[in-house]
């Protein structure tokens, strides 16, 4: 009896302790007005602008057609729709009343000024690594470099139990490793700078790593093993990379700056705004990111590279003797590809051989299907490489995809082309 009572009491103590721990955040008093612009030096504001770009704050905190940073973008998650907030310096509807202390707490611990837990759709598990100096610079830029906008973003209303924000205390306990970043002394300065940016403000893993069932990023061998974003497949950035030619540091620099590399092709979809912001960054920083990421890649062996290039060239569309597959399913695709795509995608055409691209090697056809329908609007560094949106009937697209996979790779056919096309056509995917 006494033993049982002991267990009950112990249980209660642990419960109350956990609850007290979860509820440990107080409100931080609001400022009457956002700090005046002359509080911050020009150098700090410029640095803050770059770091804000590195964090892609504007990408998530701007709804289509809305003013920059004023929030209201709907982010569909498996737990329901989460709306981004207004982070302009408007006191009533934005973060104008937030002190640097409150802002730092949000970036490091995912807690808002009032002491409420924020959903991890806000990638604070990455931003936590950011140094005090960089957080202060971002704060300065948001307060003094961004125009205040009076706009109340829609309230996020997730279904029970996800509406209980206190439960995020448990999530944070599992997944939040509080920063700032600590350098690995066995590695050089560039590697550490790259790790700081990729793992921190760059939050690359939030798309490029698979998620577990409660939305935490998988680590270990699954780190950078590929994921999903906004209805797009996100390719792996580790030794499981699907790029036919492994990524070297130089190729990564080209891709991260310009969204294009001559051995890998072009960026598309949700990666485009990321590249758009990397384009403005300091060269040293992007080199450091590439150097860090390169340590996750397969080694580049010249003989294999030559093999891939030879294969890809041999399989390109030759207008003088277009491929004539005997399999009727492939023949229809060849005809449609010839009609809709081969004006540009052909031997010595402008786009690089499709057989060299990651996109054609992905486990599903959603990205290729999306690109075929929506075209490509490249970021500034490769502006001349745009592909127009095309009008294609579903059955023609299906035939084209079937043909492309057989023509440009040695992989198995894509397993569910109808499903992939339906997913791309569904309005909810956007």
Nearer to ligand HEC, 6 or 319 (CB): 319
317: CB partners within 8 A, 6+ apart: 323, 337, 338, 341, 342, 345, 346, 347, 349
Residue 42's Cβ-side half-sphere holds a number of Cα atoms within 13 Å equal to 0
Nearer to ligand HEC, 288 or 376 (CB): 376
CA distances, 229 to each of 206, 267, 278 (Å): 9, 14, 19
CB of 73 within 8 A of CB of 159?
no
Nearer to ligand HEC, 119 or 287 (CB): 119
Site string for ligand HEC, 97-136 (x = CB under 6 A): ------x--x-----x-----xx-xxx---x---------
Nearer to ligand HEC, 8 or 373 (CB): 373
Q: Is 255 in the site for ligand HEC (CB under 6 A)?
A: yes
Q: Is 309 in the site for ligand HEC (CB under 6 A)?
A: no
CB of 295 within 8 A of CB of 247?
no
CA distance 233 to 209: 11
CA distance 397 to 418: 10
Q: How far is the CB of 1 from ligand HEC (least distance, A)?
A: 46
CB of 62 within 8 A of CB of 69?
yes
Tokens read off for 284: 């040293």
Q: Which of residues 370-389 bind ligand HEC (CB under 6 A)?
A: 371-372, 376, 385, 387-388
Using CB under 6 A, pick the residue from 368, 399, 406, 417 that binds ligand HEC: 368
Q: How far is the CB of 326 from ligand HEC (least distance, A)?
A: 22
Tokens read off for 118: 């924020």
Phi/psi zone of residue 88: left (φ > 0), alpha (ψ -120 to 50 degrees), beta?
beta
Nearer to ligand HEC, 235 or 379 (CB): 235
Q: How many Cβ atoms from other residues are within 10 Å of residue 179's Cβ?
A: 22
Give the range of 144-152, 177-185, 258-266, 317-325 binding ligand HEC by CB under 6 A: 258-266
Q: How far is the CB of 361 from ligand HEC (least distance, A)?
A: 8
Q: Is 406 in the site for ligand HEC (CB under 6 A)?
A: no
Nearer to ligand HEC, 152 or 187 (CB): 152
Nearer to ligand HEC, 187 or 273 (CB): 273
Q: Is 270 in the site for ligand HEC (CB under 6 A)?
A: yes
Q: Which of residues 34-53 bind ligand HEC (CB under 6 A)?
A: none
Residue 168's Cβ-side half-sphere holds a number of Cα atoms within 13 Å equal to 22
Tokens read off for 105: 């707490």
Q: Is 74 in the site for ligand HEC (CB under 6 A)?
A: no
Instruction: Single out the residue of 180, 173, 35, 159 nearest to residue 97, CA to CA.
Output: 35
Q: Which of residues 1-30 bind ligand HEC (CB under 6 A)?
A: none
Q: Is 234 in the site for ligand HEC (CB under 6 A)?
A: yes
Instruction: Single out the residue of 188, 177, 351, 190 nearest to residue 263, CA to CA.
Output: 351
Tokens read off for 131: 């140094």
Q: Is 265 in the site for ligand HEC (CB under 6 A)?
A: yes
Nearer to ligand HEC, 12 or 74 (CB): 74
Q: How far is the CB of 152 from ligand HEC (least distance, A)?
A: 11
Q: Which of residues 154-213 bind ligand HEC (CB under 6 A)?
A: 156, 198, 201-204, 206-208
Q: How far is the CB of 8 from ligand HEC (least distance, A)?
A: 35
Give the range of 21-29, 178-186, 215-223, 237-245 binding ligand HEC by CB under 6 A: 237-245
The structure tokens 């206190």 sit at 166
Tokens read off for 2: 């006494």
140: CB partners within 8 A, 6+ apart: 39, 40, 44, 45, 48
Q: Which of residues 327-366 bind ligand HEC (CB under 6 A)?
A: 340-341, 343-345, 350-352, 357-359
Nearer to ligand HEC, 15 or 88 (CB): 88
CA distance 235 to 268: 12
Q: Is 409 in the site for ligand HEC (CB under 6 A)?
A: no
Nearer to ligand HEC, 65 or 388 (CB): 388
Q: Is 400 in the site for ligand HEC (CB under 6 A)?
A: yes
């Amino acid at each position: 009896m006494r033993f049982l009572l002991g267990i009950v009491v112990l249980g209660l103590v642990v419960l109350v302790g956990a609850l007290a721990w979860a509820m440990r955040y107080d409100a931080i008093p609001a400022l009457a007005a956002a700090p005046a612009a002359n509080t911050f030096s020009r150098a700090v504001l410029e640095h803050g602008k770059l770091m804000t770009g590195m964090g892609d704050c504007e990408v998530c905190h701007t709804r289509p057609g809305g003013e920059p940073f004023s929030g209201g973008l709907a982010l569909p998650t498996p737990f329901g729709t989460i709306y981004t907030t207004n982070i302009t310096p408007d006191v009533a509807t934005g973060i104008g009343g937030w002190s640097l202390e409150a802002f730092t707490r949000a970036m490091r611990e995912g807690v808002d000024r009032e002491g409420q837990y924020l959903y991890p759709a806000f990638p604070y598990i990455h931003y936590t690594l950011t140094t005090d100096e960089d957080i202060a610079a971002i704060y300065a830029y948001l307060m003094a470099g961004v125009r205040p906008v009076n706009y109340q973003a829609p309230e996020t209303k997730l279904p029970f139990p996800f509406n209980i924000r206190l439960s995020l205390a448990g999530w944070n306990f599992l997944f939040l490793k509080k920063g700032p970043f600590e350098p690995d002394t066995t590695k050089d300065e560039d590697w550490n700078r790259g790790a700081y940016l990729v793992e921190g403000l760059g939050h690359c893993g939030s798309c490029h790593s698979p998620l577990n069932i409660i939305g935490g990023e998988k680590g270990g061998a699954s780190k950078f093993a590929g994921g999903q974003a906004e209805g797009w497949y996100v390719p792996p950035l580790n030794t499981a990379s699907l790029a036919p030619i492994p990524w070297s540091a130089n190729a990564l620099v080209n891709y991260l700056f310009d969204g294009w590399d001559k051995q890998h092709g072009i960026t598309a979809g949700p990666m485009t705004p990321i590249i758009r912001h990397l384009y403005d960054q300091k060269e040293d920083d992007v080199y450091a990111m590439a150097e860090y990421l390169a340590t996750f890649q397969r080694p580049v062996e010249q003989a294999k590279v030559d093999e891939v290039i030879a294969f890809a060239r041999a399989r390109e569309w030759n207008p003088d003797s277009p491929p004539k597959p005997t399999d009727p399913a492939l023949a229809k695709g060849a005809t449609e590809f010839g009609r809709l795509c081969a004006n540009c995608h052909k031997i010595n055409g402008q786009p690089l051989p499709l057989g060299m691209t990651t996109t054609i090697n992905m486990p599903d056809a959603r990205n290729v299907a999306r690109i075929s329908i929506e075209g490509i609007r490249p970021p500034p560094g490769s502006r001349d490489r745009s592909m127009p949106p095309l009008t294609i009937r579903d059955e023609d697209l299906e035939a084209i995809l079937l043909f492309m996979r057989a023509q440009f790779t040695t992989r198995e056919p894509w397993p569910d082309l109808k499903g992939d096309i339906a997913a791309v056509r569904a309005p909810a995917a956007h």
